[in-house]
């Protein structure tokens, strides 16, 4: 018989979770994430490395971090600028190649985070459930494995976006297979580079994907714990330069929680925001347009808080 109330004994509680609680960590839903980590860790010992493999690893990292921050986050989650249907599709496809499920899944959970930041409802709040849970724990649960389409009707209306969301595995598999053949070709055409098909797959796909995972996950965990709060938002979001550098601008998370529909998350020139610079460049050539900026009142608010902090410090 299944017990209704949570038992006090630790081992019995674990079994209770597996049987009763849809927030238990579920091997089936966690397996792709675990597989990528294991393949990266084992792979690097099996295939060796080369300069070209490291360069491709870095390129695959930055291109996909951009697709996640500029596409999944600033476009699909927050509608912070406009683009064509074709470029929207490209952002979705490249974003999906980071193996973080589809754009509708990603945006639907992220919109929920902004609605309920650091309250009991927030599904990845370090304040509520600790850093480990907010970083990766929630991703291992069946409960959050499904896209909540009600929250993303504005993009769920496009059949091609629904297709990518449903068949999100196509993008990462295409990337991995493409890298394999690229590595094989390079191995034959330029043997001096010392690379191979499998070496490209391990570094260009698996290692790079693990790095992209943790850069993204840091925004859910560390940017709600470490850094400065410029704005008195009701949540724990913070601004953190180091995380902004790693994530191409997402570390200005307190700014972002104060005004989420702004395309730029670094509100001042000294707040480095690589994703914004690229989007600005894209807007010059007409790929994207109507980039949104924080209104004057948000800047005034920053100055007021600054003046108050300076006054209290003296
Ligand atoms: Zn947040
Ligand atoms: Zn956001």
Ligand nearest, relative to CA of residue 265: 2
Q: Which residues surround ligand 1, an ion (CB under 5 A)?
A: 237
Which pLDDT band, with edges at 50, 70 and 90, does 196 fall under? very high
Backbone angles phi, psi at 240, to 5 degrees: -145, 115
Q: What is the mean pLDDT of residues 115-139?
A: 88
pLDDT score at 14: 60
Query: To which residue do tokens 């084992």 refer?
Result: 42
How far away, in angstroms, is 174 Cα from ligand 2 center?
28
Q: Which token pair is 11?
A: 């081992």
How far away, in angstroms, is 148 Cα from ligand 1 center?
18
pLDDT score at 3: 47
Which pLDDT band, with edges at 50, 70 and 90, does 17 fall under? low
Q: What is the mean pLDDT of residues 92-105?
A: 97
pLDDT score at 2: 45
Q: Please answer whether residues 276 and 267 qualify as being in contact, where contact means their C-beta atoms are separated by less than 8 angstroms.
A: no
pLDDT score at 15: 65
Domain coordinates in residue numbering, the chain: 25-313
Instruction: Give the number of other Cβ atoms within 10 Å of residue 253's Cβ.
Output: 27
How far away, in angstroms, is 4 Cα from ligand 1 center?
34
pLDDT score at 310: 78
Give the least confident one: 20-24, 61-65, 110-114, 145-149: 20-24
- pLDDT over 80 (residue 20): no
Give the separation between CA 4 and CA 75, rounded to whole angstroms. Answer: 43
How far away, in angstroms, is 20 Cα from ligand 2 center?
32
How far away, in angstroms, is 110 Cα from ligand 1 center?
8
**How confident is the model over 39-64, as pLDDT tens digits?**
999 999 999 999 999 999 999 999 99
Ligand nearest, relative to CA of residue 113: 1
pLDDT score at 1: 40
Give the separation between CA 279 and CA 309, rounded to whole angstroms. Answer: 33
How far is CA 60 from its chain centroid? 14
Q: Which token pair is 226?
A: 């470490």
Give the separation between CA 281 and CA 276, rounded to whole angstroms. Answer: 8
How far away, in angstroms, is 3 Cα from ligand 1 center?
36
pLDDT score at 170: 97
- pLDDT over 80 (residue 240): yes
Which pLDDT band, with edges at 50, 70 and 90, does 111 fall under? very high
How far away, in angstroms, is 256 Cα from ligand 2 center?
7
How far away, in angstroms, is 15 Cα from ligand 2 center?
35
**How confident is the model over 243-287, as pLDDT tens digits?**
999 999 999 999 999 999 999 999 999 999 999 999 999 999 999
How far away, in angstroms, is 17 Cα from ligand 2 center?
31
The DSSP line for 43-67 is: HHHHH---HHHHHHHHHHHHHHHHI
pLDDT score at 191: 93
**How confident is the model over 199-212, as pLDDT tens digits?**
999 999 999 999 99
Task: Using alpha carbons, select from 282, 276, 284 the residue that is nearest to residue 78.
Answer: 276
Ligand nearest, relative to CA of residue 69: 2
- pLDDT over 80 (residue 312): no
- pLDDT over 90 (residue 19): no
Q: Please answer whether residues 161 and 152 qualify as being in contact, where contact means their C-beta atoms are separated by less than 8 angstroms.
A: no
Q: What is the mean pLDDT of residues 286-313?
A: 90
pLDDT score at 18: 59
How far away, in angstroms, is 202 Cα from ligand 1 center?
31
Q: What is the mean pLDDT of residues 122-142?
A: 87
pLDDT score at 83: 98
Query: To which residue do tokens 């079994």 refer?
Result: 15
Q: What is the mean pLDDT of residues 179-203?
A: 96
């Amino acid at each position: 018989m299944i017990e209704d109330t949570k038992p006090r004994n630790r081992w019995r509680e674990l079994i209770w979770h597996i049987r009763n609680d849809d927030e238990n960590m579920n091997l089936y839903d966690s397996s792709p994430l675990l597989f990528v980590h294991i393949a990266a860790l084992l792979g690097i010992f099996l295939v060796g490395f080369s300069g070209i493999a490291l360069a491709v690893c870095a390129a695959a990292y930055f291109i996909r971090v951009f697709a996640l921050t500029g596409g999944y986050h600033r476009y699909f989650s927050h509608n912070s600028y406009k683009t064509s249907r074709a470029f929207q599709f490209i952002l979705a496809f490249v974003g999906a190649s980071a193996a973080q499920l589809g754009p509708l899944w990603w945006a639907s959970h992220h919109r929920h985070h902004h609605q309920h930041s650091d309250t009991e409802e927030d599904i990845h709040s370090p304040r509520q459930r600790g850093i480990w849970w907010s970083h990766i724990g929630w991703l291992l649960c069946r409960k959050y494995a499904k896209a909540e389409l009600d929250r993303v009707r504005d993009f769920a209306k496009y059949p091609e976006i629904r297709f990518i969301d449903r068949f999100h595995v196509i993008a990462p598999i295409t990337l991995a297979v493409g890298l394999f053949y690229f590595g094989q070709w390079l191995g034959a055409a330029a043997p001096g580079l010392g690379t191979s098909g499998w070496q490209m797959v391990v570094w260009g796909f698996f290692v790079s994907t693990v790095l992209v995972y943790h850069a993204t996950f840091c925004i859910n965990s560390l940017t709600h714990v470490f850094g400065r709060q410029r704005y008195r938002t009701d949540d724990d979001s913070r601004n953190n330069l180091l995380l902004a550098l790693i994530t191409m601008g997402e570390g200005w998370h307190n700014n972002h929680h104060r005004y989420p529909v702004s395309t730029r998350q670094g509100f001042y020139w000294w707040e480095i925001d690589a994703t914004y610079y690229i989007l600005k460049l894209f807007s010059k050539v007409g790929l994207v347009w109507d980039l949104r900026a924080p209104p004057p009142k948000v800047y005034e608010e920053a100055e007021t808080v600054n003046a108050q902090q300076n006054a209290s410090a003296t």
